[in-house]
Amino acid sequence: MIKKIKKDNVPETTKIARTHEKNGVESIVIMLASIFLVGMVIAVVVGVGYTFNKKIKNDKVVDNRPSMAIAIEAIDSDATSDDESQNKTTEEDVVVPEETKISPADINVNVLNNGAPAGSAGKIKDLLVKNGYAKAVAGNSSSVSIVGTSLYYSADKFKTTAEASARLLEANGSIKVVVSGASSAEQKSGDIVIILGK
């Protein structure tokens, strides 16, 4: 016959061991659940931050860069205008310190179309030639399509002239030009490289 053991008859050391065993498993489960929840919260915060940051960057690109078609239209209307009294910026209007001035006629300028309307690079080249950039040439870009117009200078000695060129384009075409140092082979393919995006 099986004898029932009363709770009071169980040795004290056995009671402590069972309690400790139960608390150890519960502790591990609670710790794993806490780590999982903290990881999920971090993932949500990072995801929301990434999405928000990406939206802000996209908004800035769209807001800060007017349409290339509008700019080319403005350049076309300037080229066909017979009114010489218009206040258009020319290379002579741009003040460049003498110690850093390089004649526009001595600068190799590549104008590359990268998503702008067909013929845009040629029209920009014609504007540059008209303003003294005798070595300007037009072509097509082989890089990934971009938004807006970027102007790159291959060496620091061309930075001032590059900025003057950007002002010339902005004044004659109602476009925003971003000027920066060249980093890729295509951006270094001339002393100044202008890439016309969408």
Closest of 180, 128, 127, 133 to residue 154, by C-alpha: 180
Quick check: 151 and 136 in contact, CB under 8 A?
Answer: no
The C-alpha torsion from 138 through 154 and 129 to 71, rounded to 10°, is 70
What pTM was computed for the model?
A: 0.52
Letter for the amino acid at 95? Answer: V
pLDDT at residue 34, as a whole number: 93
Digits of tens for pLDDT over the chain (198 positions)?
Answer: 555 555 555 555 555 555 555 577 888 889 999 999 999 999 999 988 888 776 665 554 444 445 555 556 656 665 555 444 444 555 555 555 544 568 888 899 999 998 888 888 898 899 889 989 999 999 998 887 788 888 999 999 999 888 888 888 888 775 788 888 888 888 889 999 988 888
pLDDT at residue 154, as a whole number: 92
3-state helix, strand, coil in the chain (%, to 5): 55, 15, 30
pLDDT at residue 190, as a whole number: 92
How far apart CA 117 and CA 72 sit, in angstroms, is 8
Please report, for residues 57, 82, 88, 125, 148, the alpha-carbon distance to residue 38 in angstroms, rounded to integers and kept in the order given.
Answer: 29, 70, 60, 57, 42
